[in-house]
Amino acid sequence: MKILFFGSSEISVPFLEEIYKSRHSITSVVTTIDKPAGRGRRTTLNIVKKKAIELGIDFIQIEKFEDNFFDNFVKLEFDVAVVVSFGKIFPEKIFKLTSARWLNVHPSLLPTYRGPTPIISALLNGDKVGGVSIIEVVYEVDAGRIYAQVKFGVEEDDNKDSLEQKVVKFGKPLLIAVLDLIEDKNINPYPQDEENVVYSYKIAKEDLKISWNSSAVEIVNKVRAFSSKPGAYCLWKGLRIKVLKASALNETLSSAYLDRSKIDESKKNGLVVEADKKTGILVSCNKNEMVKIERLKPQGGKVMSAADFINGYRLKAGESFE
């Protein structure tokens, strides 16, 4: 079949490559415009555009859906449009311009986590199971019928990066299988369970800040959800510290450290109870719990272990994170 591919992010690329290697042909790629990135804010080549050029596939770049895009769109020949992390909502008009099928690779087990942040939401909520859904694209976001789904386990040390890798690992063969079955006229989609819809939401900048008034599990889940980019953060002496890996101490260890430290109850949340190269950085939080910071990145610095941060920045017990 002839495939029109929509994608704009790093996670789009392996799916584009997988279709390219399959029995199907990609007629064109639609992606977003090149944007400034990095400290110098230099315009960098869109990663999907870069891969399209490498594979010798025609591409179209858009900032938003305008008349000139629709003029080009109606000239394209394709049997199925495949959408993988495109980052834009399709206008209703576009579906009326073609009789082709539309597929979306969505990184959750729909109807759970419709919307823009399914992987982040799964980690924030401490889910033990994740998955990928191949659905039809309709005007209502992520509400289309389901062609196929696959489940995978979410481990305690999984973060956003590792879950994206699992989405790619399990999603690529699932997508190709669905495309093959569509071509063979051997698959029919089924409707989502509208009574059990759960939405994910766009993340705001303030959501990235760690609140030490939260429980240890909530803090650790936030670190997992935003690591490695954009990164959950806290402040120390006015310096922004991204926490990239952390774990929750069990109740027995937390109580032992808190009892030994004899800290002021009114100042304990965010207090560095231990800052030792062997033990690591232990920070108190709500419910008499403790978070162990294992890997972090200070503002303007490089990613480092807790031991390296203690050594380089002279962090001491009794200081506080905000």
Quote the strand ranges of 194-286, DSSP E: 232-236, 239-248, 272-276, 280-285
Count CB atoms within 10 A of the CB of residue 300. 7
Please tell me the distance from the alpha carbon of residue 176 to that of residue 257, in angstroms, as a whole number: 53
Residue 310's H or E segment, with its range, is helix 306-313
Sign of the alpha-carbon torsion through 257, 258, 263, 266? positive
Which of 263, 270, 254, 156 shows the shortest CA–CA distance to 209? 270
Q: List, as one string, the DSSP characters of 36-89.
A: EETTTTEEE--HHHHHHHHHT--EEEESS--HHHHHHHTT---SEEEEES--SP
- β-pairing, 272-276 vs 25-32, is unpaired
Contacts 24+ apart (CB under 8 A), 43-49: 46/8, 47/9, 47/10, 47/12, 47/13, 48/7, 48/8, 48/9, 48/12, 48/13, 48/16
Burial of 188 (0-12, 13-18, 19+ CB in 10 A): exposed
Rounded to 5°, angle at Cα 209 from 225 and 271: 110
pLDDT at site 41: 63
Which residue type is seen at 238?
A: G
In the chain, what are the domains? 2-196 (3.40.50.170), 205-313 (3.10.25.10)
Q: Are 246 and 223 in contact (CB under 8 A)?
A: yes
Which of 75, 95, 159 shows the shortest CA–CA distance to 122? 159
Please tell me the distance from the alpha carbon of residue 102 to that of residue 249, in angstroms, as a whole number: 47
Assess whether the previous peptide bond of 228 is cis (omega < 30° from 0): yes
φ, ψ at 296 (rounded to 5°) = -155, 170
Would you give the DSSP letter of residue 90?
P
Q: Are 194 and 138 in contact (CB under 8 A)?
A: no
DSSP-based three-state secondary structure for 128: coil
Which residue numbers in the chain have pLDDT < 70? Answer: 36-41, 256-267
Q: How many CA atoms lie within 13 A of 185 on its CB side?
A: 0
- Cα 294 to Cα 179, 220, 233, 306: the distances in Å are 43, 11, 13, 5
- What's the pTM? 0.92
pLDDT at site 261: 66
Please tell me the distance from the alpha carbon of residue 189 to that of residue 169, in angstroms, as a whole number: 22
